[in-house]
Structure 1
């Protein structure tokens, strides 16, 4: 594989890795937002349930009790839905993380190949330079031998 092709493949692998990292970051951010929303819902539900307890102790009309209970059921449904959404996003993060790992490994493989190829090119150039130096030294030595 020539140097240009390998460099191109390495560059493409790096771009794919960068894109996968962006997707992973977005997925993590979305998951954090959903976690925060779920926490807010749970906190609100707890506060509302406490208010209901206080109202019950103070004496409450049956119509108000029904309203409180139906609202608590609505909050419970919203919490359940948020938990399901959170679970889906957590799976998405896991999937994105695996995709990023795969892209990272692919990029590392190409980068390693490119590094090895560049080392081989340098070694060949050094050998050619050493051979040329040796030939010049030998020619100089032979010329000096002829003069003597």
Structure 2
């Protein structure tokens, strides 16, 4: 009976572990997307500065220069915001990874306990069988001796 309950607990733990693994995978994907978005913004900023420098070599009006500076400032703000998102996404991903690993460890411990109980039951059954065989052999020996 205890084995059946433990088997049920292991099954429940496995289902929880699978959900936590799916949550981790989802967080990992989100983190990678956030990193890609950050890298895309950083690349765009670099390209924009290079293009603006090429255009500026022939001279810029003050209005164009102000637009350039303002746009770079907005890109910098967007990069800072995206960097925070990347950091948060990585923190969530790590938290979910730890939850998944903890659940996996718990399930493995339960499986180990279940296996130990199975081995004990097999050992107990083998001893009982051996005792029964010994008793039968003893009875046969006693019968032969008395006849």
Q: TM-score over 0.5 for the alignment? A: yes
Equivalences for 1:29-68 in 2 at 5 Å? 29-68=29-68
Aligned length: 147
| Other-structure match for 1:16 | 16
TM-score (norm 1): 0.93
- Extract unaligned runs of 5+ from structure 2: none
Once the two structures are TM-superposed, the CA of residue 146 in structure 1 deviates from its matched residue by 2.0
Once the two structures are TM-superposed, the CA of residue 62 in structure 1 deviates from its matched residue by 2.3
Q: What's the CA shift string for 1:72-111, capped at 9, x where partnerless?
A: 1221111111100011111111211221122112111211
| Other-structure match for 1:140 | 140
Once the two structures are TM-superposed, the CA of residue 143 in structure 1 deviates from its matched residue by 1.8
Is 120-129 or 137-146 further displaced after alignment?
137-146
- Name the CA distance, whole Å, in 1 between partners of 2:10 and 2:64: 67
- Name the CA distance, whole Å, in 2 between partners of 1:96 and 1:120: 36
- Name the CA distance, whole Å, in 2 between partners of 1:56 and 1:134: 102
| Other-structure match for 2:117 | 117
TM-score (norm 2): 0.93
| Other-structure match for 1:102 | 102
Q: What's the CA shift string for 1:11-52, capped at 9, x where partnerless?
A: 111111111111111111110111111111100000001111
SS in 2 for 1:58: coil
- Name the CA distance, whole Å, in 1 between partners of 2:135 and 2:25: 58
| Other-structure match for 1:75 | 75
Is 11-20 or 41-50 further displaced after alignment?
11-20
State the superposition RMSD in angstroms. Answer: 1.3
